[in-house]
Structure 1
């Protein structure tokens, strides 16, 4: 009998000029495993080289986009956890740099790593039942700098801080007001609307779209500098282990309370490790 991780997959369906990529890990609300992220990158490579495909729609199976990284992998073995963190960032950046237009069709949960992938898409459509969350503060970890920069570019500093500081889930209408999504559809209608929009975009000039995507991304791109990245990339982070333990045990985490501004012993490493 397959385990939930064995049952996880990423599927590709091509209909004319539209490639639909579906994350499928139903037992875990499409939580992302290392194998799924590898497969996603392989699919993107295949789609990029196929000149007949003009646009990609990214979605999830079974009524959810993705509940994030598979937390079991983060805790079951530290090496696997680190590998998954790096693979998550690699897949996000591969999607963000993808030269063809991309659309995230979001239904249900879009949290953590799922938000990373949705943010990396050019356009985001949401079902009215969609729920979005940036939840690293619940686990004592931090989003990667490029994801934070992308979140700020999309929402602005104030809204980005609200999502990260509270780690609360927001509904689709709130996401629309914030500018996180471009459109909200009735429940059950986001896949059809995303396909409709994708077919419309596919009729436009591929040269114009590629030029516009590259120039718009360049005009709006301001990454976090390397000094800040190094500051928050230290190996030692007791809050991360505590946060993951608490999540798996179904209890409230007991974080250390240590922060960067003079609250740690001299010479100690600064938390947390990037996710």
Structure 2
């Protein structure tokens, strides 16, 4: 049981690997995610991040057996991991197969985008265990799918299929079986080719973390990405954007 990571073409991939429990997250795995994300955020070679599960399951939630372990509250650990993922400064995408339930949905919703394979199932299930879903997680879910769908999911704990997840905005794209990896790879290549300046500012604004228009206007003036983007458009070539968080 572990979180595996790799880097290729500017895209970091983090794989939830706990096959014995359908990739359920243990306390140790929740605890490991924030420092892993911190290291990837600081790596200038990382331009985007994909979160997925090993095999044919994304994540079946928290490993319930760990809820009785002494020590740190696993729910607090899950929230800390979720918040670290939501705050990741580069584009994030959850690639979902199979079950995406409970803590798995927490992680998927914390990503910027979610692509799913047909047949994926989504659920937010604390009502089945008598657990109060965290306020921050509830607000993030409601902001994504709307209050009515968030209440449906939270009140009932019922699973919804990929078609309904697409209709409600829980996922952005649904792919036929066998096409998810190819589509994720193609789309992340697009992300890597775009301006990091635009992406960083857009993420900060869209997530409601700041209204620092003046800061980003200053970054834009100093970056040279706008001039490069216009020149590339006029010359019909691929732009070579240079801004990075370290500049």
TM-score band, normalised by the shorter chain? 0.7 to 0.9
What root-mean-square deviation, in Å, do the aligned CA atoms of Structure 1 and Structure 2 show?
A: 1.5
Conserved in 2, the CA contact under 8 Å of 1:57 and 1:195? no
Larger CA deviation: 188-197 vs 134-143: 188-197
Q: What is the rounded CA distance, in whole Å, between the counterparts of 2:144 and 2:90 in structure 1?
A: 19
Counterpart position of 1:156: 146
Aligned match for 1:22, one of 8, 15, 21: 15
Counterpart position of 1:185: 175
Q: Spell out the pairing of 1:26-41 with structure 2 (5 A cutoff).
A: 26-41=19-34
Counterpart position of 1:197: 187
Conserved in 1, the CA contact under 8 Å of 2:204 and 2:210? no
Counterpart position of 1:99: 89
Conserved in 2, the CA contact under 8 Å of 1:31 and 1:67? yes
Q: What does the per-residue CA deviation read over 1:118-140, in whole Å, with 9 as the maximum and x for residues that have no partner?
A: 00000000000210001000000
Q: Which has the higher contact order (CA 8 A, sep 6+)?
A: 1
Q: Tell me how far 1:220 sits from its aligned partner.
A: 10
Q: Say which SS state the counterpart of residue 174 (structure 2) adopts.
A: strand
Q: What does the per-residue CA deviation read over 1:70-105, in whole Å, with 9 as the maximum and x for residues that have no partner?
A: 000113x3x34x531111110000000111010000
Q: What is the rounded CA distance, in whole Å, between the counterparts of 1:191 and 1:47 in structure 2?
A: 21
Larger CA deviation: 45-54 vs 211-220: 211-220
Larger CA deviation: 143-152 vs 181-190: 181-190
Counterpart position of 1:13: 6
Counterpart position of 1:166: 156
Q: Spell out the pairing of 1:1-275 with structure 2 (5 A cutoff).
A: 8-75=1-68, 77=69, 79-80=70-71, 82-218=72-208
TM-score (structure 2 length as normaliser): 0.82
Count of matched residue pairs: 211
Unaligned runs of 5+ in 1: 1-7, 222-275
**Runs of 4+ with >3 A deviation:** none
Q: Tell me how far 1:203 sits from its aligned partner.
A: 0.4
Q: Tell me how far 1:37 sits from its aligned partner.
A: 1.8
Q: Tell me how far 1:219 sits from its aligned partner.
A: 7.5
Unaligned runs of 5+ in 2: 212-247
Q: What is the rounded CA distance, in whole Å, between the counterparts of 2:151 and 2:3 in structure 1?
A: 32
